[in-house]
Structure formats: C-alpha cells, structure tokens
Amino acid sequence: MTTMTWPQFKHHHVGKTNEEISSLWKQFKAGEYVIEEDSIEASKETEEGPREEEEVEQLPERVDDASLEEPLVTEPEKTEEPIIKRPTPAPAPKKKDEEKRLRDLVLFDM
C-alpha cells in the first residue's frame, strides 16, 4: 500500500469533486483503493512552457558538465577600509592647576 498524506492525495485527484475525493480517501485508508506508483510519479512531473524570445535571450548559456567538475574559486574583492582618526584626549590638568582650583573653590565658594 502506498503511503500518502491527505494534501498529496487531494493533489493527485485534481479535477474531481471534494465529495468524490473524500469517498476515495476513505476507501484508500481502508485499503480498498490502490494508487499505482507509476501514476504518482507521472503526476509529479511538470513540463516547462514555451518562453518568449526576449526571455530566451536573457537566459545564461548552458554550462557543460565537464566545467562543473572544477570548482570556481574567486577571491573576494579587497576594499580599502576608511581610516578613522580618533581625537586625542585632552591632557590631564597639572597638579598645580588642581590645587589652585580647589583653593579657589574653598575661598570663593565657586
């Protein structure tokens, strides 16, 4: 017996009414309805429709199987990273300046 899900079964019976599909599904689950493997494979096959000339011209050319054996290795393009100049920090105040500021703060309440 072929195993199949409900969506697969429904897709396989396109064109029939839901009632017919439902009835066949019940028979299928009971083992009274058999789907041949060949018909499942045939239903999966799709054909490509004809293309317009402009579309065909835009398609890339086919690649030979022999050229696929050698892997294409390309090195990434090297881009120059912008140089970011960081500002230099201001020098720390000299100890005399700190003493003067502290003295002024105490004396003049600044």
Tens digit of pLDDT for each residue in 78-89? 777 788 888 888
Report the predicted TM-score, pTM, of the whole model to 2 decimal places.
0.35
Lowest mean pLDDT among 19-33, 41-55, 58-72: 58-72
**CB atoms near residue 21 (< 10 Å):** 19
Q: What does the pLDDT read at residue 93?
A: 65
Predicted confidence band of residue 2 (pLDDT cuts 50, 70, 90) = low
Distance between CA atoms of 36 and 2, rounded to whole angstroms? 8
Contacts of 58 (CB under 8 A, 6+ apart): none
